[in-house]
């Protein structure tokens, strides 16, 4: 079978890129021919004999992501149209190309984020806010167009599936839920080392992982909650600090000595094993990989219903808040863990057991089964069309 996958990057250290990396690797190991239409591809995938990389350069000189994405969408669509005979199944990710797809994985729903009561952007508030408002609205329209032109839309969580259903698909579309995966064994087997990360040994240590430049991940509410908690409760924060407002906020709240900004962390399994609990009250999330990774590392989680992935969390392994912006409820949830070490450890064990059910192999296997099903359906339609075609007659002289 020949599969074409369209995505910007295919690599380990990227959320969407990691998902597509694991799907491509599983397909190659299963003997599929895989064409990756992307700007970046991990070298280890190209070592497979049936792997092919079609490099799409969006052009770095374009001034915004919105324009660069349109260039990528046009270039990829032109290649796909010219090489339609080179693949049996086309797999895309949201609106990423103008080509009609067989499988479209929904990693994020801009329309859902725009409808959220926590959406912070609007025209006229600032140049950045105006751009984000336009970016969201344009992508919401484009993704709806893309989903309606896909045979199967694979939502990465039930939350995402509900938001896509609210957009309105056609009767021809099929909507599935295929949860993201996690390296459950790798995260479970790691060892913590607080000294390595410069973290306090005696503290009850929370962990936050995410983009520190956007209010969507909601570190601000976490810092507000931390201010009301005992001094021994501290937090490690992993994420790029460039243009982040949160170090200044921590100083303003008088808790800078309890907030350990680590920057970009490459050894995430070791960091997660160095913490006591994972806190992630994101205002909007499709399906957080970091949430699954923390659970796989054996951490109890405190999150919010607005964060994709919260739907899989049980009372045995985590605490799900109704309102991500309620610092008092967040502080109470953290206190329940910090005040009882046995409860915290028990919830961590339950989190690890649950995460073990979401391995990468499970996720990739679901996509491969979907590819085979769609290819078989297309072949059946071709056979039926050929059988219904009129038989040419010959006229005798």
Position 297 scores a pLDDT of: 97
State how far the Cα of 293 lies from the Cα of 270, in Å rounded to an integer.
11
Q: Please report the pLDDT score of residue 384 as a whole number.
A: 58
Q: Do domains 2-181+359-381 and 184-357 have the same CATH topology?
A: yes
> 153 has which bridge partners?
104, 175
Q: Which fold has domain 2-181+359-381?
A: Rossmann fold (3.40.50)
Residue 147, by phi and psi: left (phi above 0), alpha (psi -120 to 50) or beta?
alpha
Helices assigned H by DSSP within the chain? 15-29, 43-46, 65-82, 110-115, 127-148, 158-167, 184-189, 194-197, 219-227, 246-252, 268-273, 289-296, 327-338, 341-355, 360-388
Average pLDDT value for the chain: 92
- Count Cα atoms within 13 angstroms, Cβ side, for 96: 25
Task: Report pLDDT for 119.
Answer: 92
**3-class SS shares of the chain: helix, strand, coil, % to 5:** 45, 20, 35
DSSP code string of 108-160 = --HHHHHHSTT----TTS-HHHHHHHHHHHHHHHHHHHHHHTEEEEEESSHHH
| Residue-level pLDDT at 65 | 87
Q: Are 337 and 302 in contact (CB under 8 A)?
A: yes
Distance of CA 88 to the CA centre of its chain: 26
Instruction: Tell me what pLDDT residue 397 has.
Output: 46
| CA-closest candidate to residue 145, choices 168, 120, 118, 127 | 168
Of all residues in the chain, the percent with pLDDT exceeding 90 is: 83
Q: Which CATH class is domain 184-357?
A: alpha beta
So what's the pLDDT on residue 388?
A: 60
- Cβ-contact 236, 197 below 8 angstroms: yes
Give mean pLDDT in consecutive 10-residue pieces for the chain, a chain of 397 residues: 96 87 97 97 96 90 88 96 96 96 95 91 91 95 94 95 87 91 94 96 96 92 97 96 94 97 94 97 92 96 92 95 96 96 96 95 97 86 59 53
Task: Report the pLDDT value the prediction gives residue 387, as an integer from 0 to 100.
Answer: 57
Q: How far is CA 29 from CA 6, 10, 95, 341, in A?
A: 19, 16, 28, 43
Q: How far apart are CA 91 and CA 237, in angstroms?
A: 35
Residue 189 neighbours by CB under 8 Å, 6+ apart: 269
Q: For the chain, what are the domain ranges?
A: 2-181+359-381, 184-357
């Amino acid at each position: 079978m020949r599969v074409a996958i369209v995505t910007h990057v295919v690599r380990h250290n990227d959320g969407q890129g990691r998902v597509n990396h694991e799907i491509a690797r599983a397909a190659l190991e299963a003997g599929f021919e895989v064409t990756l239409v992307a700007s970046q591809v991990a070298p280890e995938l190209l070592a497979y004999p049936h792997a092919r990389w079609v490099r799409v350069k969006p052009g770095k000189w374009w001034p915004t992501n919105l324009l660069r994405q349109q260039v990528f969408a046009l270039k990829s669509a032109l290649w796909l149209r010219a090489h339609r005979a080179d693949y049996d199944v086309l797999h895309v990710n949201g609106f990423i190309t103008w080509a009609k797809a067989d499988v479209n994985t929904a990693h994020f729903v801009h329309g859902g984020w725009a409808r959220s009561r926590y959406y912070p952007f609007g025209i006229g508030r600032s140049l950045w806010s105006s751009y984000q408002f336009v970016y969201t609205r344009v992508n919401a329209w484009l993704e709806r167009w893309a989903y309606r032109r896909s045979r199967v839309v694979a939502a990465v969580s039930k939350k995402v599936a509900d938001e896509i259903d609210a957009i309105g698909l056609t009767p021809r579309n099929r909507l599935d839920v295929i949860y993201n995966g996690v390296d459950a064994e790798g995260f479970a087997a790691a060892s913590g080392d607080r000294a390595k990360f410069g973290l306090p040994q005696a503290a009850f240590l929370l962990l936050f992982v995410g983009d520190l430049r956007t209010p969507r991940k909601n570190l601000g509410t976490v810092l507000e909650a931390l201010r009301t908690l005992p001094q021994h409760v501290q937090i490690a924060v992993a994420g790029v600090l460039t243009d982040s407002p949160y170090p200044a906020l921590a100083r303003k709240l008088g808790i800078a000595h309890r907030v350990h900004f680590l920057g970009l962390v490459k050894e995430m399994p070791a960091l997660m094993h160095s913490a006591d609990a994972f806190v992630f009250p994101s205002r909007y999330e499709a399906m957080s990989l970091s949430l699954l990774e923390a659970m796989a590392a054996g951490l109890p989680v405190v999150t919010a219903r607005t964060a994709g992935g919260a739907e899989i969390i049980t009372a045995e392994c985590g605490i799900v808040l109704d309102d991500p912006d309620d610092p008092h409820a967040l502080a109470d949830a953290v206190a329940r863990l910090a005040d009882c070490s046995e409860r915290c450890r028990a919830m961590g064990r339950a989190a690890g057991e649950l995460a073990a059910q979401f391995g990468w192999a499970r996720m990739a296997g679901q996509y491969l089964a979907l590819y085979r099903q769609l290819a078989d359906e297309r072949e059946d339609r071709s056979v039926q069309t050929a059988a219904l075609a009129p038989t040419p007659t010959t006229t005798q002289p």
